[in-house]
Structure 1
Amino acid sequence: MSSHQSTQTMKPATAAKKLGVYLDATPAEFRDGVVSRAELAALQSDPPQWLVALRADGPHPRPVVAQKLGVSIAGLARGGVTEALTTEQIEALKSENPEWLQQERATQADVRKENVRIKKKHADQASRRAED
């Protein structure tokens, strides 16, 4: 009856998602193995050169592309962006500022304003309940 603790591991796709990198752009040894929680922590605290380069230059996964452009992931799809983009491609899109990007940024700004309004409304309701 020993309490043997097994090492928790994750698939490379999960680790790539947690690291904010595009899995297909990672080295083969990363893609082909499993990543332990300790290895993930080490990659986060002291990233190797390949990880630093991927984070800086891409290609970036859709959530990172969406964040860098200031739109939602669904907004990317509506704009026709379905693949990973490099930092250079993202900067080119920003400078071109196509109509779909302007529209999606406006939509995202409206969503943020609405979220703030709802949060304030709930806070006001909670404070009124607390007073009663």
Structure 2
Amino acid sequence: MTVEEAFGKKISDVSLTIKGTVTKILEDDTGDTPHQRFIVTIHSGHTALVAHNLERAYRVPVKVGDGVEVKGTYVWNKYGGILHNTHHDDRSACEKVASGRVVCGPKHEDGWINFVGKKKPDFSKNM
């Protein structure tokens, strides 16, 4: 599935990869979990916000005009969507779910950012 398809169908929580150009650097989200934020524009003109978790991964040294390829979890919004979980998920904690079962394992599929031609660089923090 492409980001345009997910956007058009208003689909969220799907793993996607986008490739495009960084067109805007935004201020970090400094809420409960800090995130580095930047806008990527793909070849079709579609834009998506990348929200890169700074507690789980190191800052990516992107600047406007850089080419990037980003894999993460897409969340729909009216502005084009958000791509988050752009880092390795090494959490293997267990949690009790609504049914009462205990589920163990990663919370999401691993994400990554390919920056300046370096395929899947390790920006993840070792926890």
Question: What band does the TM-score fall into relative to the shorter chain?
Answer: under 0.3
Q: Normalising by structure 2, what TM-score? A: 0.21
Q: Which is richer in helix?
A: 1
Bigger Rg, structure 1 or 2: 1
